[in-house]
Amino acid sequence: MADERSHPPEPIDLGESVAGEEDPGASLDLPVRSAASRDTSKPPAGGTGAPKPMAPGDEAPPGTPSTGEDICRACGGTGKLNGGACPECEGTGKVNVGIGGA
């Protein structure tokens, strides 16, 4: 009985996918756009242009992926602390915090 470990495995052909089909995304040619060709007069899609300002209690700017609005821990969501506006949320009672575990 021959020992199967005595023969090295056949080399893997990296020219084919596991399914034996050509990668359809590999042949997709997209035009390259230089910075000079971009229209900078419009804000990016889905954005409003200028980023919203951050409050001192925010962990990231509003609209950042993997973040969300939460109640300010300093004032408990009231927006008031020691008779004035809460300095952490700037009186809104809300802060932007990370919600992902990554």
**Residue pLDDT tens, the chain, 102 long:** 555 567 777 776 666 555 555 555 555 566 676 655 555 555 555 555 666 788 888 888 888 888 999 999 999 999 999 999 999 999 999 999 998 765
Answer yes or no: is 38 within a domain: no
pLDDT at 51: 66
Residue 77 lies in a domain: yes
- List the domain range (segments joined by +) for residue 99: 69-102
| Rg (the chain; Cα; Å) | 27
pLDDT score of 53: 81
Asked whether residue 91 is domain-assigned, the answer is yes
- Write b or e for each residue in 4-28: b if 16 or more Cβ atoms lie within 10 A of its Cβ, otherwise e: eeeeeeeeeeeeeeeeeeeeeeeee
Is position 17 within any domain?
no
Number of domains in the chain: 1
Contact 88, 74 (CB under 8 A): yes
Q: What pLDDT was estimated at residue 3?
A: 56
Residue 14: both structure tokens together: 């990296």
